[in-house]
Amino acid sequence: MYNHFLRLTTDVYAESKKSLRYKEWAKLLTGLKSEFEWLKEVNSQALQQTLKDLESAFVRFFKKLGGFPNFKNKSNRQSFTVPQHFSIDTNGFLRLPKMTPIKMVIHREILGTPKNVTISKTPSGKYYASIVAEQDLPHAPLNGDKIGLDLGLKEFAITSKGDKFENPRYFQKSLRRLKIRQRRLTRKASCSNNRNKARLVVAKIHEKVANQRQDYQHKISLKLVSENQRISAESLNIKGMVNNRKLAKQISDVSWGNFLTMLEYKGDIYGCEVHYVDRFFPSSNRCSNCGYIKQDLTLAIREWECPECKSFWDRDINAALNLMLFSESKIPLEEGKSTPDLLVARLGMNRDTGSGQEATGAA
């Protein structure tokens, strides 16, 4: 469905500059059903949902939030969504329209009212049913702490309280195994049974890495949002950083963006606000105690002593402390877009408040 209508839409546009949308697709779908009898064998709402997914892919593209919609590939993750008329029996059977009941292994109790279910098949051949349920959650009492959070590559995350979470580098660790398996895969004749088997092995390694990373990030994000009521993190220009080819692999391995998303939605549930600080703020080289700016702080210096107030800093903990301080001071609107200089001046980071010279270029 997805591929059919994506192809049709691009073809029609190329010919007549007319863009088809959900409304037109839905009408055409009715015609398709009389042409292809087997389309009637599946739940019609699931077919419509596929068209809605295609619609959102186009919307994302036009809003410049995503690339042009891609064709779905048989060997990638496959899924369909059933928006209504499904049920879960007490004995663990999932009932979907026009299908025989499916026995499920239930990982966790479903709380709230089930809204829809998505059946997916991973590239490694496992089937999952993800059930979206709606539930009113009382906000957790706001009695936690405030922290600054610095994200890095050496350590995955560092809090201003001094907690450090190692960067497990799951992808890096499986790289050797993956290379061997990948090489074996490319040697197999295309479309052969052995090729498919080799493809499954590679898919399983990727799946494992993704699961490990997901699990690790779930644990840390839950810990942070349940212990704190305010988290200040650096806003990351992730795409821009990935353009640096040397770092690209390491950065996609830590997957900060995914982690921040977890913090945000879990924060909503647990009553913890996530604040972002623009990334050009000089968070590393400012002494979070007295405001002294250390101009010669290179990446190699992990610890330093403030010549002014004699505080001894772990580089990352100091940066996390600064992030917290930055996000708590409100920038007056008239200052407009904040620049490092303005920020430096406003926060009085300059030892000699009269000049403002020293702070220039501190970012």
Residues taking part in catalysis: 150, 234, 316
Q: In the chain, what's the furthest Cα-to-Cα distance?
A: 81
The minimum distance between CB 286 and Zn ion, in angstroms, equals: 9
The minimum distance between CB 326 and Zn ion, in angstroms, equals: 16
Structure tokens at 260: 């921040």
- Looking at residue 125, the DSSP 8-state letter turns out to be S
Closer CB to Zn ion, residue 45 or residue 311?
311
Closer CB to Zn ion, residue 11 or residue 303?
303
Task: Name the site residues for Zn ion (rule: CB under 5 A).
Answer: 287, 289-290, 292, 306, 308-309, 311
Structure tokens at 253: 């391995």
DSSP string, 143-183: --EEEEEEE-SSEEEEETTS-EEE---HHHHHHHHHHHHHH
Burial class of residue 280 (count of CB atoms within 10 Å of its CB; 0-12, 13-18, 19+): middle
The minimum distance between CB 303 and Zn ion, in angstroms, equals: 14
Closer CB to Zn ion, residue 102 or residue 309?
309
The minimum distance between CB 256 and Zn ion, in angstroms, equals: 29
Strand arrangement, sheet containing 127-134: 78-82, 113-121, 127-134
Measured in residues, the chain has a length of 363
Phi, psi of 82 (to 5 degrees): -110, 110
Q: With contact defined as beta carbons under 8 Å apart, do 109 and 70 qualify?
A: no
Q: With contact defined as beta carbons under 8 Å apart, do 221 and 259 qualify?
A: yes
The minimum distance between CB 304 and Zn ion, in angstroms, equals: 10
- H-run or E-run covering 133: strand 127-134
Closer CB to Zn ion, residue 305 or residue 335?
305
Cα–Cα distance for residue pair 263/273, rounded to 1 Å: 9
Closer CB to Zn ion, residue 227 or residue 308?
308
